[in-house]
Structure 1
Amino acid sequence: MTRHTNTARRDGRGRQALAGLSTLSILIVLIMGMAFGTGLYVQAGGGLTSGNIPATAPVTHGPMRGGSPVYPEQDIPLRFNHGQHLGLGLACARCHTKIGDSDKAADFNFPTGAVCDSCHGPQHPRPATEPANCGLCHTRLSAGRVTATLRAPKANLNFSHKKHLTAGANCQSCHGDMSKVRMATVLQLPSEASCLTCHDGVKASSRCATCHPSDTNGKLATRSFSDRVMPALVPRGKSSWGAAHDLAFVEDHRGIAKANPSLCAQCHDETFCTDCHAGAVRPMRIHAADYMTTHALDARASTQDCQSCHRMQTDCLACHQRLGMGGGPDSKFGVGSSLRFHPIGWEGPPDSPQSHAFAAQRNIATCASCHTEDSCLACHATTGAARPGLNVSPHGPGFAASMRCSALAARNHRVCLKCHEPGDPRNECL
């Protein structure tokens, strides 16, 4: 008895689902049912019957309009059941006909009235002979007329359905299982967690500006261009690479900023950090306790950009000189003798494995952050009263006869006089 009762209920729901459909519409459902293997067929005298007729999908959420920095408030005064339509074998593109060519988040990808008419009969526009059936879908009516239309402002995202579909994504990849949803809301729009399953820096770019709008300097626009009243766009939840800006983040952000400074730099510039970490506000909070004894490891390995906060000529050099690591009147070639910044043998002999020439050729500006020209001239100047030095040539063999020598001398010959005395035969390119 129970089995027959359940079957009757399913049959009743199936007939109710097709109420109001034209003969052509039922044929469409039949053809698509055969294509998707649902086992649906039309019974003589009308009506849908099968052992696999879908029940009305349960409601997974209450009414929700949204209203966030990413998804603006929307108003959809319609009555719709995704689960029921999918259960009849309809593909997503059957109603969302423009998805395949949609290349912007601003594209209107909702089904149009004409698309609905292909199954539900002509209503947009409605012929004079066709009865009005607006209440089948529209929820706001007055005297039989629709009083409110769908309002869904574009998401504040850079998004292309076409690119995602071409890359192999499907509707479920971003919108989830729609077979258990009636009216879709912002809850069915992609969340950050779902996006990061592909945007991990390997499958797809992990840069925030790939999806989120940015301004002219490349920083993320943390507020909507069209609605300045909306809350600011800040990372929320566990999916934000561990950078959720909650109350604990004030104390924990130092480790995240050190491990992944490029993530912070997508929204913040250096002034945002120095507002707190410079001067008397929090002068030492950016580094761990006793960091002075271990900072050389980070400085050598370039794990962080010291120059973003510190000036090498004032902060680094002044401290190194006070500690005996800088140049002084009795220092050798401008390098302090009590504590060494460079390893033993750094200043020579030439072409040795520890030769400083490799570092100087790679980035002479780094050397100049501590050393003046006198440090270089102590070795590289021509021997003489005016240019005392060790007469160590920084040029390779055959430099005087090379095009490089001629080009440098023609551009600014005074640079050569830094080391060579006037009248020195080596001061002219041969």
Structure 2
Amino acid sequence: MKILKIYSFMLLLAVSLLTLTAFQAGNSNSTGGDKKGSVIKFSHEKHAELSACQDCHTTVPTSGSLKDDLFPGHEQCSSCHDVEDSDQCSTCHYDGVFEPIQKPASELIFSHKQHTGDKTECVTCHAGIEKAGYGIEQGAYNPGMETCFTCHNDRKVATNACESCHISTANLIPDDHKVADFIKVHKFNANKLDANCVMCHDESSCMDCHTATNVMTENNTRDNFYMPYIQSTFKDGAKQQKITRVHSLDFRFSHGIDAKGKLSDCQTCHQTETFCAECHNPSTNGDYALNGIVPMTHLKPGFVTIGVGTGGGEHAKLARRDMNNCVACHDVQGADPNCITCHNDADGIKGTNPKTHVAGFMKSENGDWHNDLNSVCYTCHTDANARPNGVKTLGFCSYCHK
């Protein structure tokens, strides 16, 4: 009796598994199995050679909504195919798959009736569909906004108002805008030959941020101008934010620092070849700092005085007062020949070259010059003994090691 129960249970389990397998197979067939959801076998390429689009899609010329079913049925297919012969079903249908094509819901307002006629061919909007073979995804050849914009641009009879085509205008953001640094790099997209910004934006869109050209001409004083991103201190809301989000008021004097380290940020808004050249007029090597405009302070007599003990002239005072101003154009780490011409120590003899360091600059004697040949010290200190583990009593090393 016990053995009979075991056999009965095993038989019931086997039947259950077979039933589940058959059910899953049926579900697989209902969606086309491995045909990626295809309901019928169809090639536009083969049919376009034999007939026109409207021969199959007969309801298109009168359709006023995307809710209409525009797919051809047996009535249209019967013009060429024998739809009554059950042995011929597999010509178009997959085995066991006979449900109608499901039309996906659309979020657009569109009338084929208004868009079709003597002047508009189907392939004008559905470009390339006449070459489409088997297994294309539904909607793969529907027109994109670039195609629509050829007419919907406010320069022809069609409007470009979003509401005229989109049921909802919320979150109408292109995929290429959904990147973290899009604000910084959007200029490069806008400069492309196929840029399509004007499909959605006009000049007023740009002016929400690009008001920097008005900053220096408006009456901005200490009382009504604040540093960026401190929104609680804005007195007139959006206007202040537009101004302060761009550059600080002294940016004309310090912009070179950002230009060296963040040139791609500058290029987001400025075309460097033309914008910078308005002031800097570079020579053939393109170095604005070395060949561009010279500040008025540099043209005064005594700006640079040569010789040990002269104090260096006005440029030394300005450097001590605000080194950032110098860095805007000059590389103070030694790469700039304007600095290295005088500020160097090639002989290793103390006191024979212009003084560069301020008093007490070396707070620690354990600097990287002891073990790193790439230490910034060796940019200017170039005597034969200026190196890590050099002879302590010679040249550069002897300045400390007696």
TM-score tier (shorter): 0.3 to 0.5
TM-score by length of 2: 0.38
Higher RCO, 1 vs 2 (CA within 8 Å, ≥6 residues apart): 1
